[in-house]
A and B are shown apart, each in its own frame.
Chain A
Amino acid sequence: MSGLEVQADRAPRSRPFSRHRRPRAAETIAAVLALFLVLAAVLPDFLAPGDPLGIDPLGAFQSPNFTHAFGTDESGRDIYTRVVHGTQYSLVIGVAATAIGLSLGIVLGTLAGMLGRIVDFTVNRFLEVLFAFPGLLLALLFIVIFGPGVATATIAVGISTAPGYARIIRAQLISVRGKSFVEAATVLGRTRWQILLRHILPNTLAPLFVLATLGIGQAIVWAATLSYLGLGAEPPTAEWGAMLSAGRTYITSAWWMSFFPGLFIVLTAVSATVLGRSIDKRMRHA
Chain B
Amino acid sequence: MNEAGLRAASTAVSAAVPAATVENLRVHFGTTRPSSPVVRGVSFTIAAGECLAIVGESGSGKSVTARSLLGLNGENAHVTADRLDLAGQNVLGLTDRAWRARRGKDLGLVMQDALVSLDPLRPIGREIADSLRLHTTLNAAARARRVLELLDAVGLPNPQLQVRKLSGQLSGGERQRALIAAAIAQNPPLLIADEPTTALDVTVQAQILNLLEQIAHQGTAVLLISHDLAVVSRIAQRIAVMHDGQIVETGPTTEVLGAPQHEQTQRMVSAVPAEKPRGSRLSPASRPSDSSRTAAVGPLAHGATSPIVLDARSLSKSFRRPDGTKHLAVDNVSLTLRRGTTLGIVGESGSGKTTTARLLLALIPPDRGEVTVCDKPWTTATQKSRRGLRASVGAIYQDALGSFDPRWNVADILTDALGNTPGRRSPQITAALSTLLDEVSLARSVLQRRPLELSGGQRQRVGIARALAARPAIVICDEPVSSLDVSVQAQVLDLLDDVQRDRGLSLIFISHDLGVVQHVSDQLAVMRGGRIVEQGPAEALFASPQHAYTARLLAAVPRL
Contacts and interface: CB of A to CB of B under 8 A. Distances in A.
Interface in A20-72: none
A9 B458 contact: yes
A16 to B, nearest CB: 5
Contact of A8 (B402, B417, B449, B487): B487
Interface string B497-525: 00000000000000000000000000000
Interface in B341-360: none
A187 B395 contact: yes
B87 to A, nearest CB: 34
Contacts of B397: 180, 184
A286 interface: yes
B96 to A, nearest CB: 29
Interface in B377-396: 387-388, 390-391, 393-395
B452 A286 contact: yes
A7 B244 contact: yes
Contacts of A184: 395, 397, 403-404, 466
A274 B363 CA distance: 42
Given A2-B284, A5-B457, A203 B399 contact: no
B387 A199 contact: no
A contact residues, range: 20 to 34
A129 interface: no
A231 B58 CA distance: 61
A144 interface: no
A188 B416 contact: yes
A15 B406 CA distance: 14
A29 to B, nearest CB: 21
Contacts of A186: 363
B407 A180 contact: no
Given A12-B452, A286-B452, A191 B405 contact: no
A4 B387 contact: no
Contact of A206 (B399, B407, B455, B488): B407
Given A4-B264, A206-B407, A188 B286 contact: no
B487 A15 contact: no
A189 interface: yes
B491 A5 contact: yes
A10 interface: yes
Contact of A189 (B391, B406, B458, B485): B391
Contacts of A187: 361, 363, 390, 393-395
A198 B423 CA distance: 12
Nearest to B456: A9
B7 interface: no
B453 interface: yes
A179 B487 CA distance: 28
A2 B267 CA distance: 11
A187 B395 CA distance: 7
B290 interface: no
Contacts of B58: 8
Contacts of B407: 202-203, 206
B485 A8 contact: yes
A200 to B, nearest CB: 10
Given A9-B488, A187-B363, A180 B458 contact: no
B323 interface: no
Given A11-B458, A187-B395, A16 B453 contact: yes
A1 B288 CA distance: 10
Contacts of A15: 452-453
A2 B466 CA distance: 24
A11 B286 contact: no
A5 B457 CA distance: 9
A5 B244 CA distance: 12
A15 B394 CA distance: 31
B399 A180 contact: yes
B402 A180 contact: yes
A194 to B, nearest CB: 10
Nearest to B390: A189
B470 interface: yes
A11 B461 CA distance: 13
Interface string B471-511: 00000000000001101100100000000000000000000
Interface string B204-227: 000000000000000000000000
Given A181-B402, A181-B405, A189-B391, A5 B488 contact: yes
Given A180-B399, A187-B363, A188-B390, A11 B405 contact: no
Nearest to A285: B452
B454 interface: yes
A183 interface: yes
Given A4-B267, A180-B397, A10 B455 contact: yes
A9 B286 contact: no
B75 interface: no
A188 B417 contact: yes
A9 B395 CA distance: 23
B88 interface: no
Contact of B457 (A9, A179, A198): A9
A9 B453 contact: no
B93 interface: no
Nearest to A13: B59
B56 to A, nearest CB: 9
Contacts of A189: 387-388, 390-391, 470
Contacts of B331: none
A9 B399 CA distance: 16
A203 B457 contact: no
A191 B57 CA distance: 41
Contacts of B278: none
B531 interface: no
Contacts of A181: 402-406
A95 to B, nearest CB: 24
Contacts of A11: 453-455, 458
A183 B363 contact: yes
B62 interface: no
Contacts of A10: 59, 455
Contacts of B453: 11-12, 15-16
Interface in A196-216: 198-199, 202-203, 206
Contacts of B416: 188, 198
A185 to B, nearest CB: 8
A11 B393 CA distance: 30
B327 to A, nearest CB: 19
B360 to A, nearest CB: 11
A55 B171 CA distance: 77
Contacts of B455: 9-12
A223 B284 CA distance: 67
Contacts of B243: 7
Interface string A63-86: 000000000000000000000000
Interface of A: 1-2, 4-5, 7-12, 15-16, 179-181, 183-189, 191, 198-199, 202-203, 206, 286
Interface of B: 57-59, 243-244, 263-264, 267, 284, 286, 361, 363, 387-388, 390-391, 393-395, 397, 399, 402-407, 416-417, 422, 441, 449, 452-458, 466, 470, 484-485, 487-488, 491
12 contacts: A5-B491, A7-B59, A7-B244, A8-B488, A9-B488, A11-B458, A180-B403, A184-B466, A188-B390, A188-B417, A202-B405, A286-B452
- 7 nearest CB pairs, A to B: A189-B390, A9-B457, A11-B455, A9-B488, A184-B403, A8-B57, A180-B402
Given A16-B449, A179-B402, A203-B405, 8 more contacts: A8-B487, A9-B456, A9-B484, A9-B487, A11-B454, A12-B455, A183-B363, A184-B395
